[in-house]
Structure 1
Amino acid sequence: MGEAVQRRFTVLTAVVAALGMTATLSGCGEDSGTGDVTLKLVAADYGTSAANSSEKYWSGLVAGFEKANPGIKVEVNVLSWKDVDRKVAEMVKEGKAPDIAQIGAYADFAKADKLYSVDQMVSIRTQANFLPSLTDAGKVDGTLYGLPFVASTRLLFYNENLFDQAGLKAPKTWDDIQSGAAALKAQGVKYPFALPLGQEEAQAETMMWLLSNSGGYVDDVGLYDIDSAQNIATFTWLRDNLVGKGLTGPVAPGELDRAKAFEAFTKGEVGMLNGHPTLMEEAEAKGVKVGMVPLPGAEGPTKGSMGVADWMMGFKQNGNRQAIGKFFDYAYSDENVLAFADEYDLLPVTGSASAEMETDNKHVKLREFLAALPNSQLPPFGKTSWATVSESVKKNIGEAVAPGGSPERVLGSIASEATRAESAE
């Protein structure tokens, strides 16, 4: 998500103002409900340059909202993904919480009683329109606090031209991946299978592989199960059959960030990797013919793909519950949801917008990702310990597949850290 996700608002001039509360706020308390209100919104930038900065999206949305809602102003501060989560956490800690944040995590704020629950803010119609798999991931202790903002799923990408040259068909099993990567290596492909387990988004790459062997970060009742037999077997296979046989390219997986792997794919240097919709568009724009299949598993294609979501939330501090709710109801109209998804080749988070995208021929290439979303499995966003666990995966998982590495030891260490983080909640 962010992966994914990866995850995609005028406005930079409002940075200073957004970091400090001003007299235009309607005051503290449960909900002022009267008078003029200025909402502070902090959002992540999904753009890759000034030309496609998310500022443009938010500027247009806010202009429409303010016209439809006299008396409510919205000031937006757009920050890079490298900074936005940390900046919002600092603002909250300093007693200067924004009214609305669009960021990567919400659970810590919900646990600390800093957020309105979704049913306190939005209309029943808006709440009922979210995809169930996403709202399930937006709950803490059974209450919905995180509104999914945008989503993505993952598929295995392969370079069709390289596959044709090597006489290969789309892989369905781990054995197909191994034999295909060996054939690609023999053809001189730089990265037969790119395995980005560097710190940028190793937690997502890891989850995809765990799912491919019927494992995952948590068990069926939501308890951490990181060092399960299935998970250890998965990383043992990766160590012995891909990394150990020199099939993952010149950069050690623990040193390979996702962005570098994706860049290599767009250059035609990668045979296979796990990708998302944005990469598909970027690769094809550079002449790479992209094939896509569900991530192969030990015995066949993975039944459930990994899903990624980013989140919107409303903070209690300034007492602007009603105004926040009006903004959310406006922002989650089909027109606005689809405009953002279109701009960044991501997936809408509501049922009606998803249905519209699915029937629109201009989105035909996204249909496989859309089809995977309802049954996708998301990371355990609702656990306040997840941020700690995710960081541990990023820092350590590459060691599990390194020469002489021990998946059992590495996964066991991450599991122990997860247990400690859970106990601290």
Structure 2
Amino acid sequence: MKKSTAIASAAILALPLALASCSGSTPSSGGDADTITVMDYYNNEPDKTMIGEAIDECAATIGITVKRTTVPGKDLIQKVLQQASSKTLPDVLMLDNPDVQQVAATGGLTPFGQLGLDGSGSAQGMIDAGTYEGELYGLAPTANTLGLFYNKKLLAEKGITPPATWDELKSAAAALTSGDQYGVAFSAIATYEGSWQFLPFMWTNGGDETDLTSPEVAEALQLWVDLVKSGSASDGVINWSQSDVKDQFLAGKAAMMINGPWQIPALDADASIEWGSVQVPVNKAGQTPVAPLGGELWTIPQTGDKAKQANAAQLVECLTSDDTEMKLATQRFTVPVRTSLAGDYVAEMPSMEAFVTQVENARSRTGELGEEWPKAATQIYTAIQLALTGQATAEDAFAQAAAG
């Protein structure tokens, strides 16, 4: 999850009606069946070019022509609504993985079983993200997740090893805090990014979005409160995006940070910092770190044109093939979704080892609540804000957020 993709309330309410009305509609693009349309939100470089090249290579292999449209992530769902209304949905539609179940629930997407596609060999978390009521609606080439980055020099100067538990994290963060340098940084912003960054702590501790008022969830939130109140983390975390957190780390103002592998190119571009990464610390030694699964799935809308859908299915199959997954993962510092590729990928990209391991146990954000996930995500980041600003205790914050 590189950035927040929050959907406006009006769009959420309109989505089921708008997309349901397009199910079984006339073909979206008409004309030659060997020319299909694709829409995604990779509108920034270098992802725009990397994804475009993968699409073009697959199209050439299949023998089709692809007309691609890219839109900003924040505009994608609104664009889908507009196209559903005008019956001009693309033949292939990329969606952020938490949005797939919500769109599938409208009947606007084609079950992959009808197209001869399945998710065999893919990480279970991503299969869960693309599945709605027992039907698979989307596949992903690569995934991302979260880990703990650390400044090797700063930790070495204090004789500190990368923390593996919460107690070690608090101790290390305190020891690494000095002057304008904080021990650890994370994003607690009031958007889906804040919720996303909290999930590894909540899930690993046994907390669950089906009961956000549980002691396990409160204990995870208390960790963040303790880090901020002690001064080991800046109170600015309530306003920091993940990009801001990366900037703090690069500027030497944070010795450790919670972040994702998409930040690695920026870290590698700064010769002044030597960094390492490990999985997100757990509460008690022996627990398995469980982090959220990020990444986009490629879906096939119900356009009514069977010939185009067949070609669309071939394109999705090619985009999720071994060769394409390895190429995209290597280029974009993401993790191949096919678990059989993990060993070869780590051998080629050793800096990604912690994230490959983390993805093996990563969870889909919609795995428990399906299309109701956005409501829980909003409650999570609201509770975080309440607790970190002293408006509620960690024990009361989630109930207060739900009531508000």
Q: 1:268 to 1:63 in 2, by over 3 A?
A: same
Corresponding residue of 2:356: 370
TM-score normalised by structure 2 residue count? 0.83
CA–CA distance in 1 between the matches of 2:71 and 2:189? Answer: 23
Q: CA deviation at 1:35?
A: 5.3
Does residue 60 of structure 2 align to residue 67 of structure 1? yes
Query: Structure 1, residues 33-90: CA drift from partner, whole Å, max 9, x if none?
Result: x95343221112274x4xx142x234333433443344x4211112233333443344
Would you say the 8 A contact 2:155–2:176 is kept in 1? yes
Query: Structure 1, residues 228-279: CA drift from partner, whole Å, max 9, x if none?
Result: 111012212322x21111221251x322221101111122221122122222
Corresponding residue of 2:273: 288
Would you say the 8 A contact 2:187–2:238 is kept in 1? yes
Amino acid aligned to 2:108: K
Runs of at least 5 residues in structure 2 that lack an aligned partner in the other structure: 6-24
Amino acid aligned to 2:152: E
Amino acid aligned to 1:63: D
Q: 1:66 to 1:295 in 2, by over 3 A?
A: closer
Does residue 96 of structure 2 align to residue 141 of structure 1? no
Q: Which residue, 299, 303, 308 being the options, matches 2:294?
A: 308
Q: How does 1:80-95 map to 2 (within 5 A)?
A: 80-95=72-87
Q: CA deviation at 1:395?
A: 4.5
Does residue 160 of structure 2 align to residue 168 of structure 1? yes
Would you say the 8 A contact 1:171–1:180 is kept in 2? yes
Corresponding residue of 1:297: 282
Corresponding residue of 2:188: 197
Runs of at least 5 residues in structure 1 that lack an aligned partner in the other structure: 6-26, 218-223, 418-425
Does residue 107 of structure 2 align to residue 109 of structure 1? no
Q: CA deviation at 1:397?
A: 2.4
Would you say the 8 A contact 2:152–2:274 is kept in 1? yes
Would you say the 8 A contact 1:199–1:257 is kept in 2? no
* SS of residue in 1 equivalent to 2:360: coil
Q: 1:398 to 1:67 in 2, by over 3 A?
A: same
* SS of residue in 1 equivalent to 2:144: strand
Q: CA deviation at 1:317?
A: 2.2
* SS of residue in 1 equivalent to 2:303: coil
Query: Structure 1, residues 120-145: CA drift from partner, whole Å, max 9, x if none?
Result: 22445xx3232233212321112211
Query: Structure 1, residues 278-302: CA drift from partner, whole Å, max 9, x if none?
Result: 2234223313222322222322365
Q: 1:67 to 1:171 in 2, by over 3 A?
A: closer
* SS of residue in 2 equivalent to 1:83: helix
Q: CA deviation at 1:156?
A: 1.5
Corresponding residue of 1:261: 245
Does residue 382 of structure 2 align to residue 389 of structure 1? no
Give % identity.
19
* SS of residue in 1 equivalent to 2:52: helix
Q: 1:46 to 1:182 in 2, by over 3 A?
A: farther
Would you say the 8 A contact 1:99–1:324 is kept in 2? yes
Q: 1:141 to 1:343 in 2, by over 3 A?
A: same
Q: Which residue, 192, 203, 208 being the options, matches 1:211?
A: 203
Corresponding residue of 1:121: 115
Q: How many residues align?
A: 377
CA–CA distance in 1 between the matches of 2:276 and 2:55? Answer: 38
**RMSD of aligned C-alpha atoms?**
2.9
Query: Structure 1, residues 387-408: CA drift from partner, whole Å, max 9, x if none?
Result: 2332443455222222243333
Query: Structure 1, residues 292-320: CA drift from partner, whole Å, max 9, x if none?
Result: 22222322365133132321111002423
Q: 1:68 to 1:285 in 2, by over 3 A?
A: closer
Query: Structure 1, residues 73-113: CA drift from partner, whole Å, max 9, x if none?
Result: 21111223333344334433443322211121211221111
CA–CA distance in 2 between the matches of 1:331 and 1:4? Answer: 24
CA–CA distance in 1 between the matches of 2:4 and 2:273? Answer: 21
